[in-house]
Amino acid sequence: MKKKTPDFEIQQLGEPTFPSPVTSGYFTPDSKRILYNRYLDTLDSTQADKHIPPSIEVAGPRRMIYVDPSTVKAAIVTCGGLCPGINDVIRAVVMGLYYRYGVRNIAGIRYGFQGLIPKYRHEVVRLTPEFVKDIHTLGGSVLSSSRGGQDVVEMVDTLCRMNINIFFCIGGDGTMKAAELITKEINRRDLRISVIGIPKTIDNDLNLIDKTFGFDTAISMVVHAIQCAHVEAKGAPMGIGLVKIMGRESGHIVLSAALAQNDVNFALIPEVPFDLEGEKGLFNVLEKRLRKRKHAVILVAEGAGQELFADTDPKQTDASGNTRLRDIGIYLKTRIEEYFKKRDMEINLKFIDPSYTIRSVPANASDSIYCELLGQLAMHAGMAGKTGMVVGLFNGEYVHLPLKSVAFRRKVDLAGNMWMRVLEATGQPVSMKN
């Protein structure tokens, strides 16, 4: 069966006819592209025979732009959960539009997509360099956020009433899906509004994107929590440090943090089911570790071990349609303590959940640099008339990707190098299933 060749073509609102006011002298032509996959044998036979592998447009300022900067009105919205670096991105977009293109009308949409729905009566914020100059020192989003879908027709109606030319959407996979729907409605009406996505998910699990902003900050904060858990575990007989962190459907934070701080003995992620009881189960393996080394550190993603809960209650969802997760941290704490009590074995377990502390801090230096660049590249794409796209890092290159190509979550590759390295670093069994 032939493999489907991915389509990475970026929509263009029209022919760029205005010379860019950007004076850096560095411009990126649309013809500059990178290969999606360097290995031709992974393509379908038609593409391979023609020697035309799929390629992706490289991001950067264009010599000619689509819109007259003096007439542009841009809007920025932040959606979903909070994440370090949101304010850095907002600041980069505003500063770039104002000083590099001379755009004077920039609106901040409050409380996510709710801000485009009249019934909520959220006020629009006028974004200026004075307003954003210090926001990168703050955590969260100065525009605030919300979850949940809103009526696409109403949202586009509002964009039209506001005379918006460029709409920047900062968010994760749900936001990118919504931005794609907004783009389709704009296209259906034959409007000239550019929709540009900027990928935000602290879990670092957007498809095709190497790294989302906030991830580096999250790792540095999780490492601190692991250090504390390790100190607590070694500070008492048969000590256990249990740390629960973010990761609804993927364990990328757990993996990177475990490798960054080699004190983790068990890395539990959503992609790898595990048993508690039995010869291969977590309890037995943990007991062996304690008897041998007298302490242990467990790092668990919030979405791990959901299969351990009895499905006695109907599954609930949040406003975005995500399944409400059971608290695996508290569950493991309780079950571990019960197990060792039955074994008449004294343990000292300390449970740490730094999740919301991590989400709300300002970005670290690495993330700040990354956010600045993402904001600038998104701004250039919008001014060039690109639409229905997201700017992101792919295979080490900053590129333009269609919204539809990133709007789902990327799992940990259990056959990949990263998971193998974590198994080697922790020493945990390949499987804890009986």
Instruction: Cite the active site residues.
Output: 203
DSSP category for residue 70: G
Question: Are the CB atoms for 247 and 304 separated by under 8 Å?
Answer: yes
CA distance 302 to 245: 6
Contact 214, 202 (CB under 8 A): yes
Scored b (16 or more CB within 10 A) or e, 269-304 reads bbbbebbbeeeebbbbbbbebbeeeebbbbbbbbbb
**Buried b vs exposed e over 176-188: b needs ≥16 C-beta within 10 Å?**
bbbbbbbbbbbee
Let me know: does 94 contact 126? Beta carbons within 8 Å. Answer: no
User: Distance (Å, rounded) from C-alpha 197 to C-alpha 367?
Assistant: 18
Task: Please state, in angstroms and rounded to a whole number, the distance separating the CA atoms of residues 82 and 368.
Answer: 15
Residue 268, φ and ψ in degrees, nearest 5 = -105, 120
